[in-house]
Structure 1
């Protein structure tokens, strides 16, 4: 299949305006399945041409089949990614006389009004903005979406792995009923371990009977990347290394927390390095300015959380640096794919570990990557809270809906089908939904809890911790964890934000605003984190293999080798090639499973009679009651694999499950328990031999 299969006007501009002599394999292979209307997942690393692989055939289909109105939705997980894509897609559309526009929370009301008056051919948006269009009274969605044919979901793996994916699928099903036809679904993804399953997930109610294609050219292996693992021991040492290494180059540095981004950014600026910052708690203007300037600059560094892991264009990078380790191989591949774009260059990444434990986990991740493993993307199970949210959203969308038809709005997509009846009954009984005869509408309790700002809180499926907006005069800098404003201190209250230190001058507690002035005495950065957390089974087991002597297939500096050797010596009593270890150290008895947080939580619940309940499980071990003997252990674990239990849930964890208050408590608890469990990992560990030992000095 060649470029000639595309619309003539488009093919002309690809050759003459872009100067491309040919298409990439991904772009060539995607043409035929997309033109015939298949659902598809297109896989390639960052900057692999996925956007063009999707949009060139779809623009051609738009011409050949004479689509009118909003015929293509292009959905992204981040507004910044949409902003970045808009100029490029507008250029492609203009070659064929087609319009591409943007709709999300930062788009002005006047721009939205113009879109409603004169519908574009392609609309770029987020799932939350799409939901807002459906439930709001400003958009005549029956008319606006009448011509919709195709939905492109960029970074689809980022959706599929959490509740935003369930929300997206449910909204797409409602949207297909609005426009009266099934929608072609095209997902763009980085490398994942289960692309066929990801495609079936994306099909929604069409899974099993709609045609689908995975387009995935061969990816480069470990030998085609330049990776180095180093140990530096502190943020200051990392800043010193970064200020002296790779001078004249453009470097993107990833950190695993916003606080670490702030600390490293400040330390780099103190050393005279031109440094920019990007993370979710910086204001939109602050991030845009940093990313725009960085894209054009040389000899500089941008320090970021995972916000720059996705496909936002920050120009031509020379090098990626990873502080400590990302949480998955898939995340590492995204970051690695930021480099090696110029002819003659190779993908590269320098790991700088700030402490011994981080070095060990970085080595484990790189060892796992070297085996060719990539995590499968799996939707979180039992999204009952999203079912409750969707039932409320449907009532808002329709104004009133028949009780018999309410569960048909998602075209049989599980769990939004007839299995949702207990949730609907609860919503009716509690007053979230009102019933008048055979019609249902939004109820007084939903009005009370979610009705602020025209129910805007209902369009987002995550509960974000409260944060204060920080201002220098009228300029907004970003968001601050309120604990920094309430903890006990002596002297002035100093904070660190946007890589600079500030003195808090006044706090408006009612409006959650904090006003600051510049101060060079050094401040603190902190943000609370949510989620169930913890490392997975495969990564934790890979760390265990490193402790057992396996090395990652990368260059390891002498100082990193020395620290790894020390770690292996320190942990030698916790690992054994023939199974797991139960080790007594003084009065402490611990089961070293090296199996990951969810596996250990499942094991601790299953073996609750053996477990010391005063301590929380972690990624690598479970504390056992001190009086447990070999005989007691053997008896208690003999049939454990046949009676695996879901983990126990702390009531406080329900606060992080948005819309859990719209569920019966037992269903909310069951949802979190199912998500915390790893039954397969627990069964695997219970099938291994267990050795008992003692730590001797």
Structure 2
């Protein structure tokens, strides 16, 4: 028997979808969601989370006769929303309700139709939602007057970075626009701290609104490997990886994840050279290119799609047989998302083949799988001290309301830290430097904000990230994607050739003013490159697990003979750099002295800032080790580090790093630097390392 949903919903679940029953998560979510509770719905990828939220919300919508736009469905990717729209339209249509999309790729005529006849459910991103709030063309108070609930899909993808702070702030402003608390429902894959994530999602309502984590299918593994056919291989090069992929699993549909856009492009070209039907997906390909690739892949059988993390989230790419991972993702959570793309067919199992290109990536992959086998997943935590998002939100509120009270603006976020009285120094700075103007107790947009962020109706104001400048690549009038400008400025002999969409192109013309280049097909010789954005440092936990692997620990997965041989070589070469009883300081050759902490980049950045007396002032640290001054001896080490745990310092931040902090220019320089320093620090990890014994080794 199906649970007590609206009879029309039950009828269509049974007769239209042909379901005999609901999944455990979908059953368990009915009572809290229909009861109006805030909720976090946890399940593996393809676990039916969307239906778990939507079926009871549709039932509630019908029971209480909600009118107008009453439900928002937020997701981190436009492609995910596009993929979900037909399914949600079907479900809403059972009750005579309508669904609409609103994001940057939706044309003006469709937007006007949405405004004219408001849908019951609006699918959008937080950035597009804020664009609606600040737009002169949207009467946001009328449009959101009937809003009752918000679903946040892939909520863990928001919470771990500044998009999460932006999301929370926009939801608080929306609560005031609607004039009522909004039910908040988060959908997530497995995370290490679900209760904390739900509290975070509740924002200012935490502690005052009832809330529940719903996770009947998520089981914490205390020992032994979770289910999944996992194989770890060492292939040594991308060319070899392409040969392995081409030879394995013919006739099956394979999804290959890479850790950079450049690797995606190079592997795609190599696979096509092997005669493999290959499609590509990454953020610098045009929307049309990605959509064509994903659609063709979904309809094909014997083929491969090579992707960055763009296909990690819940976009449907059809009936997938295999996942292949080049090297290792940065987190266990990311691996779980990718593993969850497989095993959806009855009788099939979840699987992943790791193809590592070097010794270090092999150790990293083994360490990640070791943590996975123990049931460990990273906790999702919001980055600390988002002062630049506070500055952005104050400016956006001024655009939304035109004028805000110089003393009453803090009410807009319902006293949610840090968007409250502690933000007053930031507002003073905005006024003093012309980002805001003040007159008769009111604040409004000033000339500096107009100059920095006012282009295209303040479009830059709604995006919280700064992307590197890229050139658009055009084949005739068709956009192929975007490339790093260095490929157009570096000196080359002969034709300038690019690699994009897995194909080589000859550059025929460069429009420097409009940042465009025109291309024609070429046989080969193309090159791909993009400037990396953001920090993808290995965590303290994964780096510590790497030390365990070098000391002999192995994950309970299948290791190929090549992987076993190369892992043995890595252990032999690094035998003197690891010790089970603590860290080691190694002097190699005539003078190079390095402290092998195996503690991760953020921990080592904190230790480097704290131990300035012993750290080399030029070449300093990476995630595995810290270079020390050549004259450090065991005696001076003990003397200079004895009290280090009591005086931990935040890492230093250079001026160039501040350029990557969008809206950082709207902060006092010291506050912008303090924000980055707090995010680069790992005080807890540093304290753990300083508490461990240290051994001096001479090689």
Tell me which interval the TM-score lies in, with the shorter structure as reference length. Answer: over 0.9
Distance, in Å, in 2 between the alignment partners of 1:365 and 1:601 is 22
Distance, in Å, in 2 between the alignment partners of 1:200 and 1:181 is 19
What secondary structure sits across from 2:505 in the alignment? strand
Distance, in Å, in 2 between the alignment partners of 1:149 and 1:50 is 19
Tell me the equivalent position of 1:303: 306
Distance, in Å, in 2 between the alignment partners of 1:247 and 1:426 is 62
Whether the 8 Å CA contact 1:434–1:443 is kept in 2: the answer is: yes
- Alignment of 1:484 onto 2:484: no
**Cα deviation, residue 608, structure 1:** 1.0
Distance, in Å, in 2 between the alignment partners of 1:142 and 1:57 is 26
Tell me the equivalent position of 2:348: 345
Tell me the equivalent position of 2:14: 15
Whether the 8 Å CA contact 2:497–2:525 is kept in 1: the answer is: yes
Deviation digits for residues 603-640 of structure 1 (CA, Å, limit 9, x no counterpart): 00000111012114211000000000111100111110
Tell me the equivalent position of 1:521: 524
Whether the 8 Å CA contact 1:116–1:139 is kept in 2: the answer is: yes
Tell me the equivalent position of 2:181: 182
Instruction: Give the gaps of 5 or more residues in structure 2.
Output: none
Match of 1:644 among 642, 648, 651: 648
Tell me the equivalent position of 1:78: 77
Q: How does 1:472-621 map to 2 (within 5 A)?
A: 472-586=475-589, 587-621=591-625
Q: Which moved more, 1:435-444 or 1:329-338?
A: 435-444
Whether the 8 Å CA contact 2:620–2:628 is kept in 1: the answer is: no
Distance, in Å, in 1 between the alignment partners of 2:157 and 2:170 is 17
Deviation digits for residues 195-243 of structure 1 (CA, Å, limit 9, x no counterpart): 0000000000011221111011233663421000001111111110011
- Alignment of 1:683 onto 2:687: yes
Tell me the equivalent position of 2:422: 419
Distance, in Å, in 1 between the alignment partners of 2:255 and 2:216 is 26
Whether the 8 Å CA contact 1:534–1:618 is kept in 2: the answer is: no
Tell me the equivalent position of 1:215: 214
Distance, in Å, in 2 between the alignment partners of 1:667 and 1:3 is 55
Q: How does 1:621-660 map to 2 (within 5 A)?
A: 621-660=625-664
Whether the 8 Å CA contact 2:330–2:536 is kept in 1: the answer is: no
Q: How does 1:439-454 map to 2 (within 5 A)?
A: 439-454=442-457
**Cα deviation, residue 531, structure 1:** 1.9
Tell me the equivalent position of 1:235: 238
Tell me the equivalent position of 1:100: 99
**Cα deviation, residue 363, structure 1:** 0.7
Q: How does 1:43-442 map to 2 (within 5 A)?
A: 43-219=42-218, 222-442=225-445
After TM superposition, where is structure 1 displaced by more than 6 Å over at least 4 residues in a row? none
What secondary structure sits across from 1:285 in the alignment? helix
Whether the 8 Å CA contact 2:608–2:620 is kept in 1: the answer is: no
TM-score by length of 2: 0.99
Q: How does 1:459-474 map to 2 (within 5 A)?
A: 459-474=462-477
What secondary structure sits across from 1:208 in the alignment? coil
Distance, in Å, in 2 between the alignment partners of 1:635 and 1:524 is 52
Distance, in Å, in 1 between the alignment partners of 2:609 and 2:645 is 12
Distance, in Å, in 2 between the alignment partners of 1:475 and 1:416 is 43
Deviation digits for residues 552-598 of structure 1 (CA, Å, limit 9, x no counterpart): 11000011100000000001111000000000002100000000000
Whether the 8 Å CA contact 1:276–1:302 is kept in 2: the answer is: yes
Whether the 8 Å CA contact 1:281–1:478 is kept in 2: the answer is: yes
Whether the 8 Å CA contact 2:161–2:382 is kept in 1: the answer is: yes
Distance, in Å, in 2 between the alignment partners of 1:271 and 1:307 is 24
After superposition, the CA RMSD in angstroms is: 0.8
Q: Which moved more, 1:614-623 or 1:462-471?
A: 614-623
Deviation digits for residues 158-181 of structure 1 (CA, Å, limit 9, x no counterpart): 000000000000000000000101
Deviation digits for residues 446-476 of structure 1 (CA, Å, limit 9, x no counterpart): 0011000000000000000000000011111
Distance, in Å, in 2 between the alignment partners of 1:526 and 1:226 is 34
Whether the 8 Å CA contact 1:226–1:346 is kept in 2: the answer is: yes
**Cα deviation, residue 532, structure 1:** 3.2
**Cα deviation, residue 656, structure 1:** 0.7
TM-score by length of 1: 0.99
Distance, in Å, in 2 between the alignment partners of 1:525 and 1:615 is 29
Q: Which moved more, 1:625-634 or 1:483-492?
A: 483-492
Deviation digits for residues 413-440 of structure 1 (CA, Å, limit 9, x no counterpart): 0000101000000001111001111111
Whether the 8 Å CA contact 1:532–1:676 is kept in 2: the answer is: no
Distance, in Å, in 2 between the alignment partners of 1:37 and 1:372 is 32
**Cα deviation, residue 534, structure 1:** 1.4
Deviation digits for residues 58-92 of structure 1 (CA, Å, limit 9, x no counterpart): 00000011111000000000000000000000000
What secondary structure sits across from 1:471 in the alignment? strand
In the alignment of these two chains, the number of paired residues is 694
Tell me the equivalent position of 1:694: 698
Instruction: Give the gaps of 5 or more residues in structure 1.
Output: none
What secondary structure sits across from 2:584 in the alignment? strand
What secondary structure sits across from 1:298 in the alignment? coil
Distance, in Å, in 1 between the alignment partners of 2:175 and 2:57 is 18
